[in-house]
C-alpha cells in the first residue's frame, strides 16, 4: 500500500474535542479498556483518548484517507494502532485481532478541514482543483468519472437525496448538457454549472454547496458506511460502554438520532395481555446527551456551527 506523507500546513481544529472524549467516561478502571476512534482524521480525538488511557488500555483507529494514515503512523505508542479502512469494518477488523467487545467508540463524521482545504482533493468549490472527492484515493470512482457516465435520473436522485437540493433536476440536466460539450474534470467547472442552474439560494450560501455535499456523500458511500458502522459499533459495545457520534449535517444526525432512539425505546405490549414485568422487552441503550458547540468554539472555528454530538450507552440487559 502506498502511504502518503502528512501535509502539516493544512491545519485541523477538532470539533467538540473534550465533550466527545469526556462522554466516553474513561475514568477509573475503564481507562484500561479497549476503545475505537472510527474516524482518525488528524488525530485530535485519538491523542486525547491516549492521554487518558491507562497503561493497559488500547485504542484502535480507522480512516480511509491516506493522509490520515500517514499522520497516524507518526504516533509512537504501543497502545495505539491504525486500520486503513472504513469504520464500518470495525467488527471484522477487531475480530481478526481477537477483540469481540470494546469499552467505547467515537465517530466524528464528514470530512476534515485538511481535506476541504487541499484543492487537489476536489472536495471544495472555493479553490479550483481536480474533481476527485474520494476519501480513499486508492479505491472507487472519482467524482469526475461518475459525472461522465451517470444519466439525468441518477444525477437528480443523488443531488436531491444526499444534498436535499430542490433544484436537483435542473442541475442534473445542466451537467449532462455540459459534458456533451466538454469533460467536467475540475471543481470550478462543476461549481459554475450549478451556479448557472440554480437561480435562487439562501443568503450567504454558495449555490454549489448542496451539490458538492451530495456528490461527496455518494462517492464515498458515507450514509451506507454510517448505517453499517452504527450497527457494527452497537454489536461491539460491552455493557456500560458508550458511543459518541459527531455529525455535521441533517442526514447524518437524523440517522444517528433514529438509531439511538430505536435502541432506547421498546414496543409497548397490549396492557390487557397477561405479561409479567420481567418478561417485558427491555431497552438496549440509554440516551446520555445531545451537545452542540459553544458560542466560543463556533467563533473560533465557524465550521463547528452545524456539529451535533449524540451520546448513548449500552445497557446491561442488552448484552445478556
DSSP state of 268: P
Which residue intervals of the chain are DSSP H helices?
17-22, 44-52, 66-72, 90-96, 113-117, 143-147, 152-163, 168-179, 187-197, 209-219, 222-236, 250-264, 295-300
C-alpha cell at 231: 450497527
Task: Round to whole Å and give the CA distance between 284 and 59.
Answer: 25
Of 89, 86, 180, the closest CA to residue 134 belongs to 86
- At the topology level of CATH, where does 17-113+222-319 sit? Rossmann fold (3.40.50)
Task: Round to whole Å and give the CA distance between 141 and 128.
Answer: 20
Other Cβ atoms closer than 10 A to 201: 15
With a cut of 50, which residues of the chain have pLDDT below it? 1-10, 318-320
What pLDDT is recorded for position 5?
41
Task: Round to whole Å and give the CA distance between 206 and 209.
Answer: 6
- State pTM to two decimals: 0.89
Classify strands 237-247 and 308-314 as parallel, antiparallel or unpaired.
Answer: antiparallel
Query: Residue for cell digits 497502545?
Result: 79
- The tens digit of pLDDT for each residue in 72-84 reads 999 999 999 999 9
What pLDDT is recorded for position 278?
53
Beta-carbon contacts of residue 75 (< 8 Å; ≥ 6 apart): 43, 46, 47, 50, 82
What pLDDT is recorded for position 29?
87
What pLDDT is recorded for position 92?
97
Beta-carbon contacts of residue 202 (< 8 Å; ≥ 6 apart): none
Domain residue spans of the chain = 17-113+222-319, 142-219
- At the topology level of CATH, where does 142-219 sit? DNA polymerase; domain 1 (1.10.150)
Q: What are phi and psi of 152, to 5 degrees?
A: -60, -45
Task: Round to whole Å and give the CA distance between 98 and 93.
Answer: 9
What pLDDT is recorded for position 282?
81
Task: Round to whole Å and give the CA distance between 95 and 90.
Answer: 8
Of 308, 198, 176, the closest CA to residue 250 belongs to 308
Q: What are phi and psi of 75, to 5 degrees?
A: -80, 115
Amino acid at each position: 500500500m502506498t502511504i502518503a506523507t502528512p501535509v502539516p500546513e493544512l491545519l485541523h481544529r477538532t470539533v467538540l474535542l473534550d465533550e466527545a472524549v469526556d462522554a466516553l467516561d474513561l475514568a477509573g478502571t475503564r481507562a484500561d479498556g479497549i476503545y475505537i476512534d472510527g474516524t482518525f482524521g488528524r488525530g485530535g480525538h485519538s491523542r486525547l483518548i491516549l492521554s487518558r488511557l491507562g497503561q493497559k488500555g488500547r485504542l484502535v483507529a480507522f480512516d480511509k484517507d491516506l493522509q490520515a494514515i500517514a499522520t497516524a503512523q507518526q504516533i509512537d505508542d504501543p497502545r495505539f494502532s491504525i486500520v486503513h479502512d472504513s469504520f464500518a469494518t470495525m467488527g471484522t477488523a477487531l475480530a481478526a485481532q481477537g477483540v469481540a467487545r470494546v469499552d467505547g467508540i467515537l465517530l466524528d463524521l464528514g470530512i476534515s478541514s485538511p481535506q476541504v482545504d487541499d484543492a487537489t482533493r476536489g472536495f471544495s468549490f472555493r479553490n479550483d482543483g481536480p474533481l476527485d472527492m474520494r476519501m480513499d484515493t486508492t479505491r472507487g470512482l472519482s467524482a469526475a468519472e461518475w459525472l461522465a457516465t451517470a444519466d439525468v435520473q441518477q444525477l437528480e436522485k443523488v443531488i436531491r437525496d444526499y444534498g436535499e437540493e430542490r433544484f436537483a433536476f435542473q442541475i442534473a440536466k445542466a451537467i449532462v448538457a455540459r459534458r456533451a460539450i466538454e469533460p467536467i474534470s475540475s471543481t470550478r467547472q462543476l461549481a459554475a454549472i450549478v451556479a448557472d442552474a440554480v437561480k435562487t439560494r439562501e443568503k450567504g450560501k454558495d449555490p454549489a454547496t448542496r451539490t458538492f455535499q451530495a456528490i461527496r456523500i455518494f462517492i464515498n458511500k458515507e450514509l451506507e458506511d454510517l448505517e453499517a458502522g452504527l450497527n457494527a459499533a452497537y454489536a461491539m459495545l460491552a455493557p456500560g460502554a458508550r458511543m459518541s457520534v459527531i455529525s455535521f449535517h441533517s442526514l447524518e444526525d437524523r440517522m444517528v438520532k433514529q438509531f439511538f432512539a430505536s435502541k432506547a425505546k421498546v414496543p409497548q405490549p397490549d396492557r390487557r395481555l397477561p405479561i409479567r414485568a420481567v418478561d417485558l422487552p427491555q431497552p438496549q441503550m440509554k440516551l446520555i446527551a445531545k451537545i452542540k458547540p459553544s458560542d466560543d468554539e463556533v467563533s473560533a472555528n465557524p465550521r463547528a456551527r452545524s456539529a451535533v454530538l449524540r451520546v448513548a450507552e449500552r445497557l446491561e440487559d442488552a448484552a445478556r
